Amino acid sequence: DAKTTQPNSMESNEEEPVHLPCNHSTISGTDYIHWYRQLPSQGPEYVIHGLTSNVNNRMASLAIAEDRKSSTLILHRATLRDAAVYYCILRDLSQYNNNDMRFGAGTRLTVKP
Amino acid sequence: DADVTQTPRNRITKTGKRIMLECSQTKGHDRMYWYRQDPGLGLRLIYYSFDVKDINKGEISDGYSVSRQAQAKFSLSLESAIPNQTALYFCATSKQGGTGELFFGEGSRLTVL
């Protein structure tokens, strides 16, 4: 899987939007962009994924650059419960027998009341 | 009840002892994984299995072995534990095909003295 680069940490105020960036300059045409988050003392949980178009779900939005070399996870109104480590991962689904999803260190999001 | 259950949740052992971490799932997924998490290093893949007869090494398999006893069960063994295997271990599952979304257990904290 291609490598991603994320800031080590970010801070946000409660009820304000948060934009978490991810760079993936070596992304291939068949790489999906996945985001997971890990709340304190829990296993990671799926947040959202996309290929080319922007995506929205109940948890967040994913904005993908036109050249796909970067993406941004958007939390529209951060709450204290959103404090977590957020992971951006690329997943090449054309490699059907390679199911190796590798997590980097992610971005630790702190939400201030 | 959790869909992906890990036992034990916490274990302290001594160098040289054999340790087994167990994972069971009720999601009906074919694919199961073991990850290791160290502070500041994100998650690293140890082993993964696509079905009962399939076992694959991840990026850090040395010192570990696995057994896929059934579709729902995937165990991780440390034949002779050493202190640098002290870490948080996560089991995960995913279904064949689709987008490869991973579902994680709550983790097993292992301390090797």
At A36 the pLDDT is 96
At B101 the pLDDT is 85
Q: Is A99 on the interface with B (CB under 8 A)?
A: yes
Q: Is A44 on the interface with B (CB under 8 A)?
A: yes
Token digits of residue A84: 């977590």
At A100 the pLDDT is 63
State the 10-residue block means of pLDDT for chain B, 113 residues long: 90 97 95 91 89 91 95 96 96 82 94 97
Beta strands B108-112 and B10-13, pairing class: parallel
State the 10-residue block means of pLDDT for chain A, 113 residues long: 86 96 92 92 92 92 96 96 94 63 87 95
Q: Is A32 on the interface with B (CB under 8 A)?
A: yes
Residues of chain B found within 8 Å of residue A104, distances taken between Cβ atoms: 42
At B32 the pLDDT is 94
State which residue of chain B sits closest to A40, comparing Cα positions. Answer: B106
Residues of chain A found within 8 Å of residue B58, distances taken between Cβ atoms: 100
Q: How far is B22 from B42, CA to CA, in rounded Å? A: 21
State which residue of chain B sits closest to A1, comparing Cα positions. Answer: B59
At A99 the pLDDT is 57
Choose the closest CB to A106 out of B42, B44, B101: B42
Contacts of B93 (CB under 8 A, 6+ apart): B3, B4, B25, B27, B29, B31, B32, B33, B102, B103
Residue bearing tokens 């951060």 = A78
Q: Is A50 on the interface with B (CB under 8 A)?
A: no
State which residue of chain A sits closest to B109, comparing Cα positions. Answer: A41
